[in-house]
Amino acid sequence: MGIENMAGLAWRWRGTVGVTLVTALAVAGAYAEANPAHRYGGLHLTSHPPLAAYLLLAVPAVALIWRNSRPVEVLGLAVGGAVGWAALGQIDGAALVPVIVGVYWVALTRTRRIAIAAGLAGAAAIFVAEGLLGPFGWLGGPNATMWPELLAAGTAGAYVAARRQWLAAESDRAARAEQAREDETRRRVDAERIRIARELHDVVAHSMAMINIQATAAGMQLAADPASAAESIQAIRRASKSGLRELRAILEVLRQADGGSPVPVPDMRAITALVEATSAAGTPTTLKSAGPPASLPPPVALAAYRIVQESLTNVVRHAGRVAATVALRLDGGYLYVDVINDGGTAPAACTDGTGAGLAGMRERASVLGGTLDAGPRHGGGFAVHARLPVAATPPGIPPAPAADPAGAAAISQQSSPAGRADGPHARPITSRP
């Protein structure tokens, strides 16, 4: 038998014992009060009611079994029994026990208005019956004592009902708070999973694209130009080493139990190295950015690096050996990142702007509150325009360590908005606004 079944059985047994006790008190007490030899406050009862009259008390007491489902009807039956007992000229003392229990249960299970109305109606009926037919008249015996008894029963029932409602409300609030915490945890886990997937995509896609291009070149040059083949193999080694370094950085973040990120964030020198590596892979790439690297917020620096990295990866994979331009500028509290290629004969797989890499770039920009536009250019080629706010880092993005001098990009925060990078008012990235 389960715990719930045992608890239900115990509750039913307690209810049965309670009903039995109320029945015994009502019948035995009424019998003692009705005994002809009993003297009560100077009153001598000379007659004893018939045995069947005790059903007026026993039936309402037994009817308390249905006190939860039909409390008003049970109270009415108990009041009827007390009125009938008084009509026989008997003392409504013990006969009020089922009435008191009935008032308590109505106040416990029904609204305040119903409980007050039912209690007053029952008390009034008993008062009139005792005053007209009872042995003590209008102001004696039960008519004087039942009012505080019924009031106490109703008050106790109302208090228990209010207490149960309060406990239920507290339990509901606690359950909703726990559900909210679980939803927030799930949301954070999903966001972190998406962030890690985006980082892995950027690192693996870029590294594999570079390795594939250089491996193809090495295979073509191995017999005709061994020196160029050796250079391509060295480029493969550098690309694979860089990719492994970034993968190790991602895994190191995943191992951090406290959620901290000791991995450095790429700075503008890392973007310079990225442009040089792309040019070495056979895609002539130019970086338009005057002056020393700016000190950017780590989330912005990481977003800019990943956007440039993914854009150049798409150029290498889909546009062939065509010229590309990377332009960076600060203007009005925003970092503008433009990556433009001149197009080529190879098909552009992401010209509709729906690729996973482009979606990841847009996510990076939107997380920081920026925008990113990507699409084919008029006359051929492809352009990516991002605008990332640098004046203030959005709340909820924790700080990250300083930039890596070697240009090693690693996991940190999310990205920011997109926009255009070329314009007559562009200025060098020399300071943080």
- In sequence order, what are the residues at sequence separation of 6 or more whose Cβ sits closer than 8 angstroms to the Cβ of residue 229? 217, 218, 219, 221, 222
Which pLDDT band, with edges at 50, 70 and 90, does 52 fall under? confident
Confidence of residue 352 (pLDDT cuts 50, 70, 90): very low
Q: Rg of the Cα trace of the chain?
A: 43
> How far is Cα 337 from Cα 389, in angstroms, rounded to an integer?
11
Dist CA 196 CA 363 (whole Å): 12
> In whole angstroms, how far apart are CA 51 and each of 31, 56, 80, 145, 381?
10, 10, 18, 27, 108
Sequence-distant (6+) residues with CB within 8 A of 77 are 59, 60, 63
Q: How far apart are CA 118 and CA 154, in angstroms?
A: 10
pLDDT tens by residue, 285-334: 888 875 445 578 888 888 888 888 888 888 877 776 788 899 988 888 88
Which H or E element spans position 329?
Answer: strand 324-331
The rounded mean pLDDT for the chain is 75
- Please provide residue 136's backbone torsions phi and psi, each rounded to the nearest 5 degrees: -110, -5
Residue 331, judged by CB atoms within 10 A of its CB (0-12, 13-18, 19+), counts as middle
- Label residues 47-86 b or e (16+ Cβ within 10 Å = b): eebeeebbebbbebbbbbeebeeebbebbbbbbbbbbbbb
Q: Where are the domains of the chain?
A: 3-140
Average the pLDDT over 243-254 and give the result: 69
Task: Take residue 246 and report the two structure tokens written for it.
Answer: 């970034």
What's residue 294's pLDDT? Answer: 57
Q: Give the amino acid at 147.
A: W
User: Side chain identity at 366, as an amino acid letter?
Assistant: S
The residues, ordered by sequence, that sit 6+ positions from 420 with a Cβ below 8 Å of its Cβ are: 336, 338, 385, 387
Per-residue pLDDT band for 217 (boundaries 50, 70, 90) equals low
Identify whether the C-beta of residue 316 lies closer than 8 Å to the C-beta of residue 281: yes
Instruction: Please give the pLDDT value at position 215.
Output: 72
Cα–Cα dist 323/270, whole Å: 20
The pLDDT confidence band at residue 414, using thresholds 50, 70 and 90, is very low
* pLDDT for res 42: 59
**pLDDT band at 412, cuts 50/70/90?**
very low
Taking the model in full, what pTM does it have?
Answer: 0.49
| pLDDT exceeds cutoff 90 at 347 | no
Residue 274 has pLDDT above 50, yes or no: yes
Out of 114-118, 143-147, 158-162, 315-319, pick the least confident.
Answer: 315-319
pLDDT (0 to 100) of residue 401: 39
Return d(Cα 199, Cα 206) in angstroms, integer. Answer: 11
CB 26 within 8 A of CB 97: yes
Which single residue is written with the structure tokens 């061994």?
Answer: 226
Q: Is 416 helix (H, G, I), strand (E, B) or coil?
A: coil
Report which of 132, 105, 128, 133 is spatially closest to residue 118, judged by C-alpha positions.
Answer: 105
Residues in the chain: 433
pLDDT of 405 > 60? The answer is no
- In this prediction, residue 10 carries a pLDDT of 58
- 266 versus 380: the higher-pLDDT residue is 380
Q: Which residues contact 181 (CB under 8 A, 6 or more apart)?
A: none
Q: Identify the residue whose tokens are 């004046």.
A: 391
Give the model confidence (pLDDT) of 91-121 as tens digits.
778 889 999 999 999 999 999 899 999 999 9
135-139, 177-181, 425-429: which is most confident: 177-181
